[in-house]
């Protein structure tokens, strides 16, 4: 099993392209700069487009929209 793990992208997730191939993509939090709805939705759309069959997202302290 190949696991690709990223975190603390703070709105710069698009700069990571292309991500390595893998079975599981994990983003371990801090996806946005300010935790706004718009930033969060933009990240979630990008995350959903990734080709990894399984995805795990963990919200952290900068991800205020999930509170």
Q: Are 45 and 34 in contact (CB under 8 A)?
A: no
Which segments of the chain have a pLDDT < 50?
none
What pLDDT is attached to residue 62? 84
Cα 23-63-66 angle, rounded to 5 deg: 90
| Runs of H (alpha helix) within 1-67 | 37-49
Helix (H, G, I), strand (E, B) or coil at 43: helix
55 bridge partner residues: 25
What pLDDT is attached to residue 56? 98
Domain boundaries, the chain: 3-66
What pLDDT is attached to residue 44? 95
């Amino acid at each position: 099993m190949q696991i690709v793990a990223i975190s603390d992208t703070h709105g710069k997730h698009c700069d990571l392209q292309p991500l390595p191939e893998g079975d599981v993509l994990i983003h371990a939090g801090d996806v946005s700069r300010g935790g706004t709805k718009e930033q969060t939705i933009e990240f979630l759309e990008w995350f959903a487009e990734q080709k990894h069959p399984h995805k795990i997202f963990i919200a952290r302290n900068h991800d205020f929209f999930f509170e």
